[in-house]
Structure 1
Amino acid sequence: MSTKLVLPILFALLFVSCEVDPFEETSGKTFDVGSLSKRIFTNTHKEDGLHWVEAADGTIYWDEDATSQGTAKPGETYLGETYNGLSISKYKTHTVNGVGVEIKAGYSNNSKSDSEVRWIQTIRTNDPLGGATSPYNDPQPADDSKPFYWTDTELPNYKNKEGQNLIFYDRPTRRGSQNGIKWEGELSTVINNGNEYKPAVTIRYGFETKEGVAVPLPIEINSPSSFQDKTIADYNKTLP
């Protein structure tokens, strides 16, 4: 992510047209950093909500074909469109100014006020931009002194929208035809419990490039990494 929306009119355009991209990153070097998951993600244009299932090994992920327990794979448990308050309304590949994935998420918890909910995203990639060293907190360089994805100024544009406490949107992009570019986003909803922020739910998503095409990585529920845990803990130390 390099540039963000700061005007309401741009916010409106963002959700009307996939061609508006305030979040893209561009391309650079390649080297192998390993895959996120062995699960295969085949549908690259799903926009009607993602359905969570729990696999036999305990992994919670989105299965594009599961819309009920009856359509889940044998041995898997259908969990619905929302998991711990998190829903995904868009996840697909794109070819705007390069290749990558586009994701839109929302978090809803009726027991929490909008001001208590924020997003934090950690990026891992073998193609970092802007002088960043992977992993790094997104955005890099930071827009303000806080680790959150949306700044305090941007926050009102994404709070209390579409029935959600807070909306998330990103469209990571790489240009060029290189093979083996890998980009992984570790996205967490963090909740302010009075005097500190704690993660509520974390996902990992992203893409790899093969012959100039973005191959999306599956969305999986995960725990925050030690890097992200430290990012949150360091910020909590600054709170009164």
Structure 2
Amino acid sequence: MNDFTGKNVLVLGGSRGIGAAIVRRFSKGGAAVAFTYAGSENAAQALGLETGAQAIKANSADRDALTSTVASRGVLDVIVINAGTLVMGDPLALAADDIDNMIDVNVRAPYHAAVEAARRMNPNGRIIIIGSVNGDRMPFAGGAAYAMTKSAVQGMVRGLARDFGDRGITVNSIQPGPTDSDMNPAEGPMASMMHGFMAIKRHAKPSEIAEFAAFIAGPNGAIITGAMHTIDGGFGA
């Protein structure tokens, strides 16, 4: 297990699912962890009590609130940007405001949070953005706007890796496939359809995503940057 004792870690979107697993993993590794949440206050407070991490209410769609939260954490060693939203359906019927909010949360927020973190990040810091395999592949109808946001993350990661590389700061994306969460439960109505695209026909566990985040954030991840790391059971193969 990577030792994160003395490391200052911020997880954006950490109250449930993948985010909560990442909070648990870094807390278990000895880091001082803070995480944000938007609407899941009970889950956030319970996770804070469980792990000792600090829960901070912040809406990732609000740029000023988001950057203020990042700045308030001081000199970060690791930031994991997990907050995201999903809007799917017939593009002719979806509300434009819902699409714009998804762009705010999935694209604008990661960019501004990463840049704000880098302003005062320690040398050899880590910026990790949780993307999606749908940035590479959208195999069914209704996901155009969501896939667009996750493809945008890919360009962001490649560019920021070059911008911050001279300080030893790495920038990476983890791209989960179907992962057991409130948004996409392993026993949900779409599970069998998604498993049909996969070589390993099961949802990932949030803890499996968290372990990979810890690897990238650890000392063995120092040369890994500008990359998309897909964890999808062969969904995109």
* TM-score normalised according to structure 2 size: 0.24
- Greater strand fraction, Structure 1 or Structure 2: 1
- Greater helix fraction, Structure 1 or Structure 2: 2
* TM-score normalised according to structure 1 size: 0.24
